[in-house]
Amino acid sequence: MPETNKKSDSSEIESYMTMPDKRGHFGPYGGRFVSETLMGPLEELEQAYKKHIKDPAFIAEFEHDLKHYVGRPSPLYHAERWSEQLGGAQIYLKREDLNHTGAHKINNTVGQALLAKLMGKRRVIAETGAGQHGVATATVAARYGMECVVYMGAEDIQRQAMNVFRMKLLGATVVSVEAGSKTLKDALNEAMRDWVTNVDDTFYIIGTVAGPHPYPAMVRDFNSVVGREARQQCLDQAGRLPDALVACVGGGSNAIGLFHSFLDDKDVSIYGVEAAGEGIETGHHAAPLNAGKPGVLHGNRTYLMEDEYGQIIETHSISAGLDYPGVGPEHAWLKDTGRANYVSVTDIEALQAFHDLTRIEGIIPALESSHALAYTTKIAPKMAKDAIIITNLSGRGDKDIHTVAAHEGITL
């Protein structure tokens, strides 16, 4: 494979915002590793995307729906009590949990559904792990009058019964995927199989910054509204840029959404937080950037959790949305270049942060976001009191109440 893992000297890179290259590569990562049948449709999608993303009418409609339907801009909230208790940096939370449907995922599904409409596709499909992307897709499908099928691992369907019902209420068909590990990766495989079969009338709305080109770039672009807003809000509220950004990384869409606008602000430290599950050393985790190797899965080259023969291994995280063996290729590249730091926190640490934020700020965070919050509690105390951290509160925690209760031996 092409050279990976080489730490290039960051000073050589003038801008981190020019990726991917023409063929969808972020350095050695990304690309388009799919079966032949999808190559044509992906080219067609890329052309349509390139055309419409420059079209003022498309942008206006996208921004209109983000404002009036999603409820943007989302606040940048200064968590004063929490900052005070941690005794260090001032923590600002980017409140993606306040978006319609309760997470950042809707930014991307609005964008892709509008694109699907312009491309004349009447049917949309999606994969989902925690169910947030499935709900966000079912929501826009209802909004734009499209047929919607969501693929979800049988295991995840068990864990996220409420989101499954939400999707059904919204008119979507939820297909239980029984193959493999019955989680997000298998749902993605199954959605790809659907797409390859129904490619003429179907648009595949991928929910994260992974998959074949142009998905990693397109999903990033639709989510980068998060960082654009946060950057301006921070300048407005604090009079300067933050010192650090923190976001959880499963596939990495909320993280890249926050990070992207800051990539060339080189004084801003960037932390992506992976799920260490029961601990990296136990092997029961979902932290490919911390403990995986580069490989090819789901249409792109990136860091993966795999065995010595390249079979994808099962991941573990208390948070279904982080339970994925790969990661977006741009994160792989940001790791290798050293521009971003990828760290991890365990299930236990995330649960502690879940409770802390709930009790101290009156905000119930998603378990995914709780990973970013947990890492924030590690770095904030070591920073000066006038330092600023922006942590992406990527989703709200209502969907996780049952998981948390079960973990604590409580039956609801």
Q: Based on the residue annotation, tell me whether 176 is a catalytic residue of this protein.
A: no
With CB under 8 A, what is the number of residues at the site for other proteins? 43
Of the candidates 286, 238, 190, which has an alpha carbon nearest to the alpha carbon of residue 91?
A: 238
Contact pick of 308, 408, 409, 412 for other proteins (by CB under 8 A): 308
Q: How far is Cα 120 from Cα 339, in angstroms, rounded to an integer?
A: 39
Burial 246-257 (b: 16+ CB within 10 A, else e): bbbbbbbbbbbb
Phi then psi for residue 345, to 5 deg, are -135, 155
Nearest to 191 by CA among 212, 171, 177: 177
Shortest separation between residue 295's beta carbon and other proteins, angstroms? 5
Q: How far apart are CB 168 and other proteins at their closest, in Å? A: 24
The yes or no reply on residue 2 touching other proteins (CB under 8 A) is yes
- Residue 216 vs 242, nearer CB to other proteins: 216
Which tokens go with 83? Answer: 């900052």
Cite the beta strand spans of 193-327 per DSSP E: 202-204, 244-248, 269-277, 293-297, 299-304
Which range binds other proteins by CB under 8 A, 10-18, 28-36, 123-131, 368-376?
28-36
Task: State how far the Cα of 379 lies from the Cα of 56, in Å rounded to an integer.
Answer: 41
Of 2, 3, 1, 5, the C-alpha closest to 335 is 5
Active-site annotation holds for 44:
no
Residues from 126 through 155 that contact other proteins (CB under 8 A)? none
Rounded to 5 degrees, what are φ and ψ at 81? -60, -45
Distance, in Å, from the CA atom of 391 to the CA atom of 395, rounded to the nearest integer, reads 12
User: Would you count residue 297 as binding other proteins (CB under 8 A)?
Assistant: yes
Name the strand (E) or helix (H) holding 393. strand 388-393
Q: Which of 83, 224, 344, 394 is catalytic?
A: 394
Amino acid at 322: L
298 binds other proteins per the rule CB under 8 A: yes
The CB-of-92 to other proteins minimum distance in angstroms stands at 39
For other proteins, the closer of residues 15 and 311 by Cβ is 311
- Nearest-angstrom CA–CA distance, 311 and 288: 14
In the region spanning residues 314 to 333, those forming contacts with other proteins, defined by CB under 8 A, are none
Helix (H) or strand (E) holding 135: helix 132-144
Cα 23 to Cα 125: distance, rounded to the nearest angstrom: 25
Nearer to other proteins, 310 or 338 (CB): 310
Would you say 25 or 72 has its CB closer to other proteins? 25
Q: Catalytic site residue 335? A: no
Binding map of other proteins across residues 30-69, x = CB under 8 A, - = no contact: -xxxxxxxxxxx-x--------------------------
Tokens of residue 350, six digits = 């995330």
Give least dist CB 147 to other proteins, A.
Answer: 18
DSSP run (H or E) holding 56? helix 56-65
Catalytic residue among 127, 155, 274, 330: 127
Nearer to other proteins, 128 or 391 (CB): 128
**Per-residue contact string for residues 214-253; x = within reach of other proteins by CB under 8 A:** ----------------------------------------
Q: Residue 156: which of 249, 250, 222, 223 has the closest Cα?
A: 250
Residue of 312, 320, 343, 379 that binds other proteins (CB under 8 A): 312
Contact of 327 with 210, CB cutoff 8 Å = yes
Q: What is each CA distance from 132 to 157, 289, 310, in whole angstroms?
A: 12, 23, 29
Binding-residue pattern over the window 180 to 209 for other proteins, x denoting contact by CB under 8 A:
x----xx--x--xx--xxxxx---------
Residue number with CB closer to other proteins (36 or 236)? 36
Q: Which is nearer to other proteins, 316 or 339 (CB)?
A: 316
The residues near 111 (Cβ < 8 Å, ≥ 6 apart) are 62, 218, 221, 222
Quote the least distance from Cβ 310 to other proteins, whole Å. 4
123: contact with other proteins by CB under 8 A: no
Q: Which is nearer to other proteins, 23 or 54 (CB)?
A: 23
Write down the least CB distance from residue 196 to other proteins, Å: 6
Contact positions toward other proteins, by CB under 8 A? 1-2, 23, 31-41, 43, 179-180, 185-186, 189, 192-193, 196-200, 293-299, 301, 304, 306, 308-313
Q: Catalytic positions, please?
A: 105, 127, 394
